[in-house]
Amino acid sequence: MRVKAVISYDGASFRGFQKQKSTNLTVTQAVEEALVSIGIKNSIRGGGRTDKGVHATGQVIDFIVPYFWRDLNRLRDILNRKLNGVYFKHISSVDSSFHARFSAKRRIYRYIFKTTKPSIFEERYISYYPNFNREILNRSLKLFEGEHDFGYFLKSGTVTNSNIRTIYRAYYMEYKKYHIIYFEANGFLRSQVRLMVDFAIKVSLKELTISQQLQQLELKKRYSTALAPPNGLYLARIIY
């Protein structure tokens, strides 16, 4: 029986979501070890790959469980007792054709930062930008909307079949003492969100210009390859 699970995790505790040869400290490794410990020896598939230090509140995974695991709420509770830094929100059965990655229609990321120094209890989860211009930031973010070849907004060394992605919404909002940048797209390239956040913040500070952003979006010239810190980034939701 194939099941779909929505999980959250503390990215600061892991070196990323995907399995790696150089370390066992990944979300996938932790989840699969917990599954093996209760007799489920199948690999998991993720709806999105997050980098080291990036968090998730709505990551989706799928995997196969033996049919005797009919009580999926009990399975969720057992896994939550075994795991540290990863939390299963809920598990449900899905059609055998479901694929956490390829069945996804949209993905939503949020980037959270403060203009005051985060406390010691926040610093692993909230980024810090002391200054920015809200109006210019929103103008910059809106330029990312639509279908573009984001070949100049991905981490170097990345190999993909296509760098074309469609961003449906990109905007800034304020919530209490937190500042949030929101992206909703059909998919994202490796480190794309962190590259876009850093570029937009720099445009708002007038360290870069709207014209330079357009040139980089049009693949005419690359002006910045800097990444926003990972601790403010959250994979918030995957829509199917």
Let me know if 71 is a catalytic residue: no
Packed helices 72-82 and 27-36: angle between N→C axes, nearest 10 degrees: 120
The span from the CA of 178 to the CA of 208, in Å, is: 24
High-pLDDT (> 90) share of the chain, %: 94
Architecture field, domain 2-93: 2-Layer Sandwich (3.30)
Task: Of 175, 173, 217, give the one whose Cα is nearest residue 192.
Answer: 217
Average pLDDT over residues 8-22: 94
CA–CA distance, 30 with 18 (Å, rounded to integer) = 11
The token pair at 240 is 């199917």
Sort 221 into a burial class: Cβ within 10 Å, 0-12 / 13-18 / 19+.
Answer: exposed
Tell me how far apart the alpha carbons of residues 119 and 126 are, in angstroms, rounded to a whole number.
9
Can you give the residue ranges of every domain in the chain? 2-93, 106-239
How do residues 144-188 score in pLDDT, each as one tens digit? 999 999 999 998 766 778 999 999 999 999 999 999 999 999 999
Give the model confidence (pLDDT) of 179-235 as tens digits. 999 999 999 999 999 999 999 999 999 999 999 999 999 999 999 999 999 999 999
What would the mean pLDDT of 129-139 be, rounded to a whole number? 97
Domain over 106-239 is classified CATH 3.30.70.660: yes
pLDDT of residue 52: 95
Q: Which of 51, 62, 149, 198 is catalytic?
A: 51
How far is residue 53 from each of residues 10, 56, 166, 231, measured CA to CA in Å? 8, 10, 25, 6
Read off the pLDDT band of 5 (50, 70, 90). Answer: very high
- pLDDT score for 161: 87
- Same fold flag, 2-93 and 106-239: yes
